[in-house]
Chain A
Amino acid sequence: MSRIFSYSLTQVRDGLRSGEISAQDATRSCLERIATTEPKLDALLHVAAEEALSQAAAMDKNGPDASKPLWGVPVIIKDVLATCGMPTTCGSKILENFTPVYDAHCVTRLKEAGAIILAKANMDEFAMGSSTENSAFKVTKNPWDTTRVPGGSSGGSAASVAAGQCFASIGTDTGGSIRQPASFCGIVGVKPSYGRVSRRGLVAYGSSLDQAGPMTRNVADAAEILQVIAGHDPKDSTSVNVPVPNYLDALKRCGSLKGLRLGLPKQYWGEGLSAEVDEACRQAVELAEALGAQIVPVSLPHTEYAIATYYILAMAEASSNLARFDGVRYGRRSSQTQDLATMYTRSRSEGFGEEVMRRIMLGTYVLSAGYYDAYYKKAAQVRRLIRQDFLDALFSCDLICGPACPTTAFAIGENTADPLQMYLTDIFTISLNLSGLPGLSLPVGLGQDTGMPVGLQLFAGNMEEEKLLCAAQTLEAHLPKLPETPFA
């Protein structure tokens, strides 16, 4: 019983449902795990231990509820998602004392499904970063090697899941912030199609790119979470009103890759890819082929423009979205309030960190008179070309497949001096957000040079998450299991 924390979500859920494990057992096991791992990991910003335990006790009193698919399952939420009555800082000093009065839509869904919200996970400030080094509060470490980053911006979520602090975490992905940390920490991360999961209560960074999704220790667990959080929300006008398939049933039906056309974009498999990532991902592709998949060469010719396109659009949207932090309705207010403009300016400047200021300024510049067409409109046009690349490629294949990141997790401090260098590490993840299509990162092994996890990405057509989950689960079943993290 003491190692409940190491179970998969599906295992613990089944144990909870049968009464073999109580909600309090599951919660206590995770809390104990948090107590032993957190001093080394710094993955969390807030642990709601008392609330979680009292909720678990109340649930145990009534006994398991089979109508609730996540009954008694402790989960951790990235701190960019609003949690009613629980601090939500976005990793920023400007929201240090902010406690939402409502839940994000996906948090509501999790609660309705019986999940226990255990903690809030660390992140790069306002999700701006690829390493979780941009948090205003702490630098999260990778459970596989604490001298390395967990990736970002959902680095706290990835580290917490990999270390067994919870059974699943909700991350958010604007340019790879679920898939890249999942890859760095050896877990599964799903970025759903844009509009599949409501963004209500997700503090906006790039509104046309942001999407919340599951981060879990295996594919079936991700399907369980996605099933709960996916679906239309009338209060998010970008939430798409289409039926949600039964992912769990879909997973039961798949078991072979026979007939699957797997497209390998040449731009993802060449220059800039580290040897160990190339090796591990190629082996996984060979495995897919052995399992019946047909490998198809495809091309995403505008890949080299994706980083410039992404950062122009994301920074433009960020500068507009973050204008709401003005010290009036919530968040930090400076003590210098001699006049309104000074109060705005001082509150923002005291509250925002360096990377956030940089992105707001770049966004302000590309949206300003005289530059709007040259940068913002131009990037929006290239965005269409990038999406068309995906649609064209998906004409000749069912799924697109490539590495999640050019390298395994880099060292803490390695990329902090040069922001552009940090942006360039996002090359394989950001195009997908521009396109709006769904993607999944699956751990496929450890790099032979660093011994760190390597993630393989799969991309599918719009709203085709079940195709991703099916192929990933089949691969997962035939891949050697990753060893336990050094914390185990």
Chain B
Amino acid sequence: MSMKISPEKALAIATLARLEISPEQAASLSAQMDDILGYMDKLNELDTADVEPMYTPVDQPGFLRLDEVTKDLSRADILRNAPESDGEYFIVPRIV
């Protein structure tokens, strides 16, 4: 059986997901992912050409709240868990 996920592919997926993995992790993850995805290929036994995908169990149409301004949280509360903040904004490393 050909491998869907080579260690190189695993590294590429990690980059997409903003994760950093070691070459050893890439090797073991690629084998595990291959195993799991191989199992998932089972779904191809089913003909689903005419089946509407179901993305949520909720049948109701999305409802809207009244467009009212409310203040649930203060700025201080929102910033309370920030790793870095100046009291007004979230601070991130310089990008420009």
A: residues with CB less than 8 A from B are 97-102, 194-195, 208, 234-235, 237-238, 240-241, 302, 304-305, 307-309, 311-312, 319, 323, 326-333, 337-346, 348-349, 352, 357-358, 360-362, 364-365, 368, 375, 377-385, 387, 419-420, 423, 434-437
In angstroms, Cα B95 to Cα A69, docked, is 53
CA distance A306 to B39 in the complex (A): 11
Distance from A465 Cβ to chain B, minimum over Cβ atoms (Å): 15
**Per-residue interface assignment for chain B, residues 25 to 68, with 1 indicating a CB less than 8 Å from any chain A CB and 0 otherwise:** 00001001101110111111110100111111110101101000
Q: Is B69 at the interface (CB under 8 A from chain A)?
A: no
Interface residues on B, range: 35 or more
Indicate whether B3 reaches chain A with its CB closer than 8 angstroms: no
Inter-chain contact A346/B82, CB cutoff 8 Å: no
B40 with A312: CB separation less than 8 A: yes
Q: Are B58 and A240 in contact (CB under 8 A)?
A: yes
- Is there an interface contact between B32 and A419, defined as CB atoms closer than 8 Å? yes
In the complex, besides A328-B90, A348-B18, 12 extra interface pairs with C-beta distance below 8 angstroms are A101-B78, A101-B81, A234-B65, A238-B58, A241-B60, A304-B42, A307-B39, A308-B39, A308-B42, A364-B16, A375-B40, A382-B48
Tell me if B72 counts as interface (CB < 8 A to partner A): yes
10 closest A-B pairs by beta carbon, nearest first, are: A436-B57, A380-B53, A333-B83, A330-B81, A381-B48, A384-B54, A101-B77, A381-B51, A349-B20, A194-B57
Which residue of the partner chain, among B37, B39, B84, B90, contacts A365 with CB atoms under 8 Å?
A: B37
> Is B92 interfacial (CB 8 A cutoff)?
yes
Which of A238, A308, A326, A364 contacts B13, CB < 8 Å?
Answer: A364
Q: Are B18 and A362 in contact (CB under 8 A)?
A: no
**Could you say which of A304, A341, A361 contacts B17, with CB atoms under 8 Å apart?**
A361
Taking a contact as CB atoms under 8 Å apart, the answer to whether B54 and A380 are in contact is yes
Chain A residue nearest to B35 in the complex (CB): A420
Q: B73 to chain A: closest CB distance in Å?
A: 6
Residue of A nearest to B48 (CB): A381
Q: Tell me which residues across on chain A come within 8 A of B55, comparing CB atoms.
A: 208, 380
- Distance in angstroms between the alpha carbons of A309 and B56 in the assembled complex: 13
Q: Are B63 and A237 in contact (CB under 8 A)?
A: yes
Q: Select one of A100, A311, A377, A436 contacting B53, CB under 8 A.
A: A377
Known: A384-B52, A387-B57. A379 touches B43 (CB 8 A): yes
CA distance A333 to B37 in the complex (A): 32
> Which of chain B's residues has its CB closest to A424's CB?
B39
The residue that A329 contacts in the complex, of B16, B52, B81, with Cβ under 8 A, is B81
Distance between Cα atoms of A459 and B82 in the complex (Å): 43
By DSSP majority rule, is chain A's interface helix, strand, loop, or mixed? helix
B37 touching A362 by the CB < 8 A rule?
yes
Contacts of B82 in A (CB 8 A): 328-330
The one of A97, A305, A358, A382 that contacts B32, using a Cβ cutoff of 8 Å: A358
Taking a contact as CB atoms under 8 Å apart, the answer to whether A385 and B29 are in contact is no
Give the complex CA separation of A32 and B21 in angstroms. 44
**Which B residue sits closest to A356, measured CB to CB?**
B19
Residue contact A361 to B29, C-beta cutoff 8 Å: yes
In contact, A308 and B21 (Cβ under 8 angstroms): no
Query: In the assembled complex, how far is the CB of residue A314 from the closest CB belonging to chain B, in whole angstroms?
Result: 12
Q: How far is the CA of A302 from the CA of B52 in the complex (A)?
A: 16
Task: Tell me the bound Cα distance from A79 to B87 in angstroms.
Answer: 28
Distance, CA A434 to CA B37, complexed state (A): 19
Q: Are B17 and A360 in contact (CB under 8 A)?
A: yes
Chain B residues with CB below 8 A from A327, complex form:
83
Cα(A384)–Cα(B81), bound, Å: 40
CA distance A226 to B79 in the complex (A): 33
- The residues of B that contact A237 with a CB separation of less than 8 Å are 62-63
Does A349 contact B51, Cβ atoms closer than 8 Å?
no
C-alpha gap A235/B65 in the complex (Å):
8
List, sorted by A's number, 10 A–B pairs whose CB atoms are closer than 8 Å: A101-B78, A308-B39, A331-B83, A343-B93, A349-B21, A361-B10, A364-B16, A380-B53, A387-B57, A436-B57
Min CB gap B35→A, angstroms: 5
Shortest Cβ distance from residue A67 to the other chain B in the assembled complex, whole angstroms: 26
With contact pairs A240-B60, A331-B81, A383-B54 given, residues A348 and B19 touching in the complex (Cβ less than 8 Å): yes
Tell whether, in the assembled complex, residue B42 and residue A381 are in contact, meaning their CB atoms are under 8 Å apart.
no
With beta carbons under 8 angstroms apart, the residue of B19, B29, B37, B78 that contacts A352 is B19
Give chain A residues whose Cβ lies under 8 Å from the Cβ of B48.
Answer: 378, 381-382, 385
Q: Considering the chains assembled together, what is the distance between the CA atoms of A333 and B21 in angstroms?
A: 17
Cβ-defined contact, B19 with A311, below 8 A = no
Q: Are B36 and A311 in contact (CB under 8 A)?
A: yes
- Measured between beta carbons, the chain B residues less than 8 angstroms from A331 are 81, 83
